[in-house]
Structure 1
Amino acid sequence: MGDSGTAASAAPKPVRGRNRRGEGARLRADIVAAAIELLDEAGDERAITLRSVARRVGIAAPSIYPHFPDQPAIMLAVVQQAFAELESRLRCAVEETSDDPRKRLYAVCNAYLEFSLSHPERYRTMFGGLWKPTLGDSSVTERDLTTLGKEAMQILIDALGGCVAAGCSTSADPVADAIALWLGLHGFAHQRAVSRVFPWPADTAERIITALAHLDT
């Protein structure tokens, strides 16, 4: 992929010295961090190229290859890190909520929506941005894609399952209903991002959660 020519990619760091033994992992982390910075600043995955990332880190572009064979591999690492942060926020929501399963489910769902608000560029990229690697033409595998968000979904499934066990949800299939609930949350997050002037009712999220989780009213 060619260079984007955006202002975000035109701010190189000083040339970085050769890594000492054992510092390769740090360089890999720096490459991912630089890609995330470019995405947050430009709001466009096309700003992330091998050359723009190399300039941001302060290395020559070929120095990226031992860590990432191509641009889709860098994008995969960016998306994986974003999902890891989302999962961390959802787990914190579970841990910081009381033992009330209904409140726990609401906390998980609200944490999801808050993540979409605080990192809109990353969120869009996670769920269908321009980043769509062609399997077979890049280093990204089908397993890489099918496992994205698996842990986050399991947290939502467990939270809904807790409501069923406590008798405050009438869901007969917590897994299927958790997927439907995620679709509702994702749809709201997306529309809220693209329809910013729409007068969303203050209880929109609560209505979505209550209906799709089959919670007793």
Structure 2
Amino acid sequence: MDTTSAPRGRNPRGQGSRLKEDIVAATLRLLDELGDDQALSLRAVARELRIAATSVYIHFADRDELVLATLERAHHDLMRAVDGAEQAQTDPVGRLRARVLLLGRWVQEHPGLYKVMHESTLNRRASMAFKAELAERTTAAVQRCMDAGVAPSDDDAAVVSLDLRAAVHGVISMRVNQPDFPWPPFEDQVDRFLTKLVGVSPGRRTG
């Protein structure tokens, strides 16, 4: 960073929410780079924006509150992207597959955020209720496959969805933490998960 840059000017009166958004955006960048919420400091965020550290404390009481708000923003952005990928498909198998593949691509682009969201100490000691939305929508996608008769309907969609998400997150985490391993194409692994765990045939997708 250019330390000779001029300090950031004050936001016009009534635009404090703009600074809050800027703080979250800066935190997103830093967390993605660091891959560790414990390595983040509010002073580092302030330096990134060229503002006083007290300006960060006005909006966030401590680091945990800032990180949680940032992860919730990242999760909502991911949800929009996943939903968009799903909506581009026309059949239930293709839509479920698109959701999973988009998650993999997102993690490939944001491994640091993924580690903080799922593998950090904060993840273990703080509630991240917003993550339930992704699980619920994946279960709904599995249920649509069952309702369409392209997946066994005698299984519980929630249980099948849990198995699928556990497999996908497992391999994603391994890829993030062992990037030099000669992994097979992610798409191939996803297709095997869909076949073995959900009971669908990815080749039947029409999208």
TM class, shorter-length: 0.7 to 0.9
* Residue deviations 1:19-57 (CA, integer Å, cap 9, x gap): 222211100011111111222333332342111111111
User: 5 Å matches for 1:48-197?
Assistant: 48-98=40-90, 100-132=91-123, 134=125, 142=127, 145=128, 147-171=129-153, 172-197=155-180
Q: Residues 13, 132 of structure 1: CA spacing in aligned structure 2 closer, same or farther, 3 A cutoff? A: farther
Letter in 2 for 1:82: A
Q: Say whether the 8 Å CA contact 1:12–1:56 is kept in structure 2.
A: no
Give the TM-score of the pair, scaled to structure 2.
0.87
Measure how far apart 1:175 and its partner are. Answer: 1.2
Measure how far apart 1:177 and its partner are. Answer: 1.2
Counterpart among 18, 33, 36 of residue 25 in structure 2: 33
- Bigger share in helix: 2
Measure how far apart 1:208 and its partner are. Answer: 1.5
Q: Say whether the 8 Å CA contact 2:145–2:151 is kept in structure 1.
A: yes
Question: Matched residues in 2 for 1:111 and 1:29: separation?
Answer: 25
Q: Say whether the 8 Å CA contact 2:35–2:116 is kept in structure 1.
A: no
Question: Matched residues in 2 for 1:40 and 1:216: separation?
Answer: 35
Q: Say whether the 8 Å CA contact 1:12–1:55 is kept in structure 2.
A: no
Question: Matched residues in 2 for 1:22 and 1:174: separation?
Answer: 47
* Residue deviations 1:146-192 (CA, integer Å, cap 9, x gap): x1212212221111111000111115110121122111110010111
Q: Say whether the 8 Å CA contact 1:72–1:133 is kept in structure 2.
A: no
Q: Please identify runs of 4+ aligned residues in structure 1 that moved more than 4 A.
A: 10-13, 132-135
Structure 1 alignment gaps of length 5 or more: 1-7, 136-141
Alignment root-mean-square deviation, CA:
2.2
Measure how far apart 1:16 and its partner are. Answer: 2.1
Q: Residues 25, 13 of structure 1: CA spacing in aligned structure 2 closer, same or farther, 3 A cutoff? A: farther
Equivalent residues, number = 199
Tell me the equivalent position of 2:16.
24
Measure how far apart 1:133 and its partner are. Answer: 7.4
Tell me the equivalent position of 2:182.
199
Question: Matched residues in 2 for 1:13 and 1:71: separation?
Answer: 25
Structure 2 alignment gaps of length 5 or more: 203-207
Higher normalized contact order (CA 8 Å, seq sep 6+, divided by chain length): 2
Q: Say whether the 8 Å CA contact 1:160–1:213 is kept in structure 2.
A: yes
Question: Matched residues in 1 for 2:34 and 2:195: separation?
Answer: 36
Q: Residues 167, 186 of structure 1: CA spacing in aligned structure 2 closer, same or farther, 3 A cutoff? A: same
